[in-house]
Structure 1
């Protein structure tokens, strides 16, 4: 493979009906503040490009030396007129990044929230809830125009608004005594960020991320991927900073190793994907991070565009997925594409965690043959595996685990068990019960699984990934229905790009749902799945296509592409009734 990776070291024991796993690598000493990471990177590589973004036909680039100077100016503004936390409504940008860095220096908490909460939401309900909990003193928007409705709302109208132009004016401020004093008081326990969970399990909760949580997490990665010390990473990344994957894992990884981040204005959507493809050709990454929905959109483009494929894989060292299970079919197609591009030694891997764990808790820092293995605990992390029915619930303890949710005492207490392990709500399986060092397999969300009327449990996570692979590349995502019923039904969204080679060109979803070739492809895929998985807990009896995309107001989806099974079923009760009704209606596929 050629990459220098840490060897697997694992300690484990079984007691009191639970299995305990801990990394055999002790967490080494490290800087405790993000400001210290910025100053270290600026000292080591002052001229190296840190941040870049599209600006007209060119790029706006900021070096580490320039970033430190700008952050000090912004930090001076925040320190001299302390108004508390800064709420960020805008998406990823160089200015957004510099505001975060300035906040880190000044010891001011920054809270980036999903852009959709203030631009797509009809009632601004989630944004109002966030403001009530956070009580910010300032709000940042790159430009006022997209956010006028939110800024005029009763929740935000009394806050000081900082625009991109105003922020850039602050960047030239000299380092003040107020900033020096504030920065000297920043410790590992100082709040760096408050990240609000996307509401995939209910109302957004504010996760307090301290400086130590975030720097400890980067130290874990540095110990597991020691090659980064000699190879500063180059990333092209769209993942939103309102989520921990893009905002903590990826952004801080670049900062920790004095790498380069091209902020990708694209997204895995038909109207924005072209921007991502252009950026990947312009600056091929050395590490690439994405969610399964992103790979689902990207893979068909890599398969059809040789120039893109050769550029993308030209210097790629690591291909990484997280945030949801990757269908095995996508893993195989990515492996095949890498081999076709002469990059057969590409390290394809994943990790596992959550906003509450900053985010990495496990890492697969060893070669994998297939998707699903989330690795072993990271340095300093301990896992507790507790039987729950026929599942193993996994719980987490470590220096990067939060102490609680902002202003939510009861929720915070309920989030931890009697031994102080965080109840993350996920299930895992051991690859080999006698050799835990071989890793853990993600086994879905404990709360998503359901029983049929026979009492048989349906494992939603495994069934979802299996069915997506069986019908590949036609489906974007699915939701499984049948709670307390006699059979399993599927609500499915189509992948327009994936359907194109099946039907002979790209068509609107409204036409795809009735296209004979597409219907035949999906039917064959499901019937083959059923033949291989005939049991009631895996067999699919019915399927209906959804033509309306997931609704963020209803909590059906996050902006990183995670589809909430329960919220979708609740919001689409009419479609569920149509799917599961005693007499299937027109448009419902029935499998014999």
Structure 2
């Protein structure tokens, strides 16, 4: 059905989504799609085989070289190289007990090694570059190496990853593509390996239950867990997505994508979506950060994607450039069928600005949609469609997924079952046992709620992380998910993100990461530093006014922010405050900046605390700066 949720929306062929609800005992609610999933492939490499045969000269992957020129590889070339590498991996004795670890970011070499491991039935683990580059003591990386016992560790740039390679186990082979440290093998040597008959024998044994990857959870203060990701999970999840995005069957996707392959959104959903449908993936070295956005903009001036995947912060960072630069906007929207965001809800103002930018550039609005999932579910579990009107909704179950919503306090904890769900955590039987309930549903740790119980086809809304909710001193529970998004919306566009706190306190408070670019638009010097920005009287006045309005418009203590602190120091990936997809890790932020908490809740707060006008006058103070 062509979607037309907005006037003059560019048509896109989407499959139907539906929901069947079944009540259980003790308030439990089961939700599934009544639409059958149907058959699907039993191993990922069948996609590469198919397109190498049908479209051998089709560009599969492209990345910019140091010279700025796009290096490209076709489906036929990718298959031939991946199979030679697979033979080389088998010759080195790799297995589930001695897997491949990839330290590098997204690249053609990374993709070829991953595909080689899939051909050979050898699990591989793409590791966040933050663990191997930004971490000062490699604590998490050492923990990962200890858990996996890798047989081979690959780092594309041997010089950049030299210290990380040095902490790899002595039993692991070091492999690099360039600048090899002493004793490391070169990727070019492995690529020279001839394809062997042993590969055909091994490949015939690779099936749906074969481990494809170990995907690591982000890990805040605890060590990351290795999510067992099977061939069935990846193949089933693409079949589920294809039922919703029906146009992919006739329109091979073109992506320019930065989302990291060490995360399920980029590495499982997006990479495999391109591979499954014979599309082209341009690897974007940019990031939605003040320093990284320039590379993305340069790429978008050349590449016209048909799909755009991003996090809300990335979309928000693109929008001012699309408004200012007509040629950029025209090229970006020229062939775009839809944008898909995940990781957080998108604000109403951002959604409206997105539509305005699209209409100005191409005369049509472009569908923006979202969904819900997790590393342990492949990731996609629900999709939002234009028929769903609920703001902040995450949609309806995809075909093949079954949800179980279990009362936990005032919330419904979501659990999931389906062919896209992990069998557990590698070498961690206790965590695996705790993750599943007695009916075999995986506990995701999140809460969902029906947007409208009387109209279940309006789907679900995200209701926060169950473990992040806290109780005030009054005994009132604070639902952090909805309150955080309401606070972000109230402070938009001047707040990039917020972290809530207040367990055991009389009110809820927030750490606020300002949007420095938006703050400068208040009349500040374009060269102002973060410290200067949050100290500026105009910025102070703006946040005070926005907080006052938000506090006066909301209800009781569980639905309002009474105090906040502006942070001049951005969230740190090295300190675990940012995940690979640039999402905040609230627990790490609160842990790393715990010295600010006493002042936030003090009876005589320091000047750096902003207090809403609706709170008692004796607690009111002016504010300055927090780092």
TM-score range, shorter chain: over 0.9
More divergent stretch after superposition (262-271 vs 197-206) = 197-206
| Alignment check: 8 A CA contact 1:497 1:506 kept | no
- Asked if structure 1 preserves the Cα contact closer than 8 Å seen for 2:530 and 2:569, the reply is no
Match of 2:617 in 1: none
User: Aligned ranges for residues 232-381 of structure 1 at < 5 Å?
Assistant: 232-342=252-362, 344-369=364-389, 371-381=391-401
Question: Which residue does 2:483 correspond to in 1?
Answer: 463
Alignment of 1:91 onto 2:105: yes
TM-score by length of 1: 0.97
* Aligned match for 1:74, one of 55, 66, 85: 85
Residue number in structure 2 paired with 1:40: 50
Q: Which residue of 2 aligns with 1:112?
A: 126
Q: Is 1:415 paired with 2:435? A: yes
Task: Please say which of residues 472-481 and 164-173 is displaced more in the overlay.
Answer: 164-173
SS of the residue aligned with 1:29? coil
- What secondary structure sits across from 2:522 in the alignment? helix
Native 8 Å contact 1:4 1:226 kept in 2: yes
Equivalent residue for 1:493, pick from 513, 518, 524: 513
Query: Which residue among 544, 564, 571 is the counterpart of 2:565?
Result: 544
Distance in 1 (alpha carbons) for counterparts of 2:527 and 2:228: 44
Given that residues 108 and 192 in structure 1 are in contact (C-alpha distance below 8 angstroms), is that contact kept between their aligned partners in structure 2?
yes
CA distance in 2, matches of 1:433, 1:6: 23
Q: 1:10 aligns with which of 1, 14, 19?
A: 19
Give 1:553 shift: 5.1
Deviations 1:338-366 (A, max 9, x none): 22223534121011110000100111244
Q: Deviations over 1:73-94 (max 9, x none)?
A: 1111112222231101110011
Any conservation in 1 of the 2:13–2:246 contact (CA below 8 Å)?
A: yes
2:544 to 516, 520, 523: 523
Consecutive unaligned residues of structure 2, counting only runs of 5 or more, are 4-10, 179-185, 614-627
DSSP-derived class of the 1:309 partner: helix
User: What is the root-mean-square deviation of aligned Cα atoms in Å?
Assistant: 1.6
Alpha-carbon separation, structure 1, partners of 2:375 and 2:146? 20
Contact kept? 2:150, 2:169, Cα under 8 Å: no
Check conservation: 1:328, 1:370, Cα contact below 8 A.
no
Partners of 2:74 and 2:227 in 1: how far apart? Answer: 31
Partner of 1:28: 38
Tell me, yes or no, if the aligned pair for 1:199 and 1:205 is still in contact at 8 Å.
yes
Bigger shift: 553-562 or 216-225?
553-562
Q: Relative to 1, partners in 2 of residues 1:109 and 1:537: Cα closer, same or farther, differing over 3 Å?
A: same
TM-score for both structures, normalised by structure 2: 0.91
- Cα distance in structure 1, aligned partners of 2:115 and 2:540: 51
User: Residue by residue, what CA displacement relative to the aligned partner does 1:7-40 show, whole Å, maximum 9, x if unpaired?
Assistant: 2232221120211111111111111101111111
Paired residue total = 591
In the alignment, the residues of structure 2 paired with residue 158 and residue 547 of structure 1 have an alpha-carbon distance, to the nearest angstrom, of 44
Contact 1:499 1:506 in 2 (8 A): no
Structure-2 separation of matches of 1:370 and 1:95:
42
Residue aligned with 1:340, SS: helix
Which runs of 5 or more residues in structure 1 are unaligned? Answer: none
Say whether the 8 Å CA contact 1:201–1:564 is kept in structure 2. Answer: no
Counterpart position of 2:234: 214
Q: Give the aligned partner of residue 478 of structure 1.
A: 498
Cα displacement (A) at 1:170: 2.8
